[in-house]
A and B are shown apart, each in its own frame.
Chain A
Amino acid sequence: MPRLVSHPDEVKIVTSRFGKGAANIDRYLELGGYEATKKCLAQGPEWIINEMKASNLRGRGGAGFPTGLKWSFVPKQNPKPKYVLVNGDESEPGTCKDHLIFLHDPHAVIEGTIIAGLAIGAKLGFIYLRGEYRYLLDIMDKAVADAYAKGFLGKNIFGSDIEFQIITQTGAGAYEVGEESALMESLEGKRGVPRIKPPFPAVVGLYGGPTVINNAETIASVPHVIEMGAAAYAAAGSERNGGTRLFSISGHVERPGVYELPMGYNLKKMIYEVGGGIRGGRKLKAVVPGGSSTPVLLPEEIENLGMDFDQVGKAGSMLGSGGVVVIDDQTCIVEFALRTISFYAHESCGWCIPCREGTDWLKKSLTRFHAGFGVAKDIDNIQYLAENMLGRTFCPLGDAAAMPTLGFVKKFRKEFEDHLNGKPCPFAKHVELAVI
């Protein structure tokens, strides 16, 4: 069972019911659950969307798109049915926050889904979990069944004349399906390859109907925004970055865990105080701030870095999914880069050639390099390859592979050079032989 952690700097909003048995619907109701939905039923769609806009809640999947704005793009009148799709295909390495949400607070996800449905006028919502989260699907299924039994879901939710149904399901192992258009393809029973945009899902989405797709953490935040009021929620965060964020702190820290901290919280403090500092008294070498697809940051870059979408963007990386991966000074960056790119090579769906071929060649180059058979030209080649993948694919997976690679090569060029001419890697244990 995943361990829950706590730190005095945490502001517990989304995690406020964690560890309190809130997966049980009666307990959830005791803790104030479903009040937000009732309020939204009384207030109506326009009010909900305005609240969401005012809350400055931004998409927690990684892109940071304002949630209220996203919902407002859905046409009010449409010949085809509209849908809400909750993206719980959490697969970005370094990220395990949704895991805890499904485990501890499944009704918050259901509530958020209903509220999103009310806002856009959808009658059906889907909650899609990654295939590995089977035990969490069982928890979600139980919660959904309980909500039906209480009349919170169904033809007349909460005794109103409004219908809302929820279908839950899992995938079967595919990082790419976390991308919104690939997610819709998977839900339609197809290979999870991305669709070209535009049209955006808000206009033409699942089964061709307008669809709002939100990350599970975003959806779980929604009832809290309604409950505490948009202004109070926004005030918990930083400028244009409302509320809190679930940061998954992993790697070489003393106290890894999922911590809920205000948007804009200082990254250095996050590592040294919240995470308890570097394990074994070692030194910080680098940190990946927002899941494995975000460019690495050096210790000197995090001194005054506030963790919100805008500040991390300005620092040349991304807040992404909030997966903070901490790397100590005894780690080989070339090996780390190789492991990162191996993942993207494995997960590239093969639809777009720059990504399919690019990730494969980056993996080959880095494998050879790490094994000590690299030549000086390889470093520039790796950079050239990565640069030519950027922006040339349907979905951001190509970028997700290229950006961190560029970060590693640019910021740790010397360490790459140290691997040249058959020199043994000073850190790594797991040298793979180049098979090219």
Chain B
Amino acid sequence: MSPETMTLFSPRVAARFDALVLKYPVKRSALVPMLLYAQDEVGYLSDAVIAEVAARIGITQLDVRNVATYYSMLRFKPAGKYNVQVCTNISCMLRGGYDVYERFQEELGIGHKGVTADGVFSLEEVECIGACCWAPAIQVNYDFHDELSPDHVPGILAGYRGKAIAEGTDKHA
């Protein structure tokens, strides 16, 4: 079966991948962006995702894994629907990044790389996210929240929980 006929991805993402492999002078250049977009849709790089990406690029699955394991944003296990990434690097640390991180741990009851039982949230302590002047900062999936204090944490979580409920993905709702 060719990836054109059998795909894990939505028609929109599949079409994007079809274009992506033609965009670069060398097909393989599409690999890193493709892995990230694949993860965005599926949630993580499952065996099936890796197999399809390998087929689309025309390289071995081992080769895909070899590259994918290098990049810290790529993961091989599901994360929460909303992945909370708290920066504790120097600029954030100096302005209370660890206090923010601890508050997230308390509120969610999980630690680094943990996922809440309902699958809505996961938590990560991350390296610099490029928001040093607006520290402490976090990213929830790709959205930035900056100039935080621990007191902002419950409100941020409530906002995303509300979204999850609205989308009907919170099993406990």
Contacts and interface: CB of A to CB of B under 8 A. Distances in A.
Interface of A: 1-3, 5, 81, 90-96, 98-99, 124, 130-135, 167, 169-175, 186-192, 207, 248-252, 256-258, 288, 292, 323, 325-328, 331, 336, 339-340, 343, 346-347, 349, 429-430
Nearest to A131: B73
19 contacts: A2-B134, A3-B146, A90-B130, A93-B132, A94-B132, A98-B130, A132-B73, A132-B129, A169-B32, A171-B71, A174-B70, A188-B28, A191-B70, A207-B25, A249-B133, A250-B135, A251-B135, A346-B72, A346-B127
A5 B147 CA distance: 14
Contact of B30 (A1, A135, A186, A189): A189
A347 B126 CA distance: 11
Interface string B128-155: 1111111100010011101100000000
Interface string B55-80: 00100000000110011111000000
Nearest to A174: B71
Contacts of B57: 189
A308 B127 CA distance: 27
A81 to B, nearest CB: 7
A258 B72 contact: no
Contacts of B70: 174, 191-192, 349
B90 A256 contact: no
A189 B67 contact: yes
A79 B2 CA distance: 36
Contacts of B25: 81, 124, 207
A90 B133 CA distance: 14
Nearest to A328: B94
Nearest to A326: B94
A140 to B, nearest CB: 13
B135 A172 contact: no
A189 B28 contact: yes
Given A189-B26, A192-B70, A256 B135 contact: yes
B71 A256 contact: no
Interface string B28-65: 11111101100000000000000000000100000000
8 A-B pairs with least C-beta separation:
A173-B73, A189-B31, A172-B71, A189-B28, A173-B72, A250-B91, A134-B142, A93-B128
Contacts of A99: 130-131
Contacts of A256: 132-135
Interface residues of B, number: 43
B134 A96 contact: yes
Contacts of A93: 89-91, 127-128, 132
A1 B143 CA distance: 10
Contacts of B139: 132
Nearest to B69: A191
B98 to A, nearest CB: 5
Contacts of B30: 189
A429 B150 CA distance: 15
Interface string B86-108: 00111101110010000000000
A343 B128 contact: yes
Contact of A191 (B67, B131, B135, B142): B67
Contacts of B95: 250-252
B23 interface: yes
Nearest to B33: A169
A325 B127 contact: no
Most B-side CB within 10 Å, residue of A132, A251, A346, A349: A132
Contacts of B89: 93, 292, 339, 343
B134 to A, nearest CB: 5
A130 B126 CA distance: 14
A95 B132 CA distance: 6
A250 B28 contact: no
A258 B32 contact: no
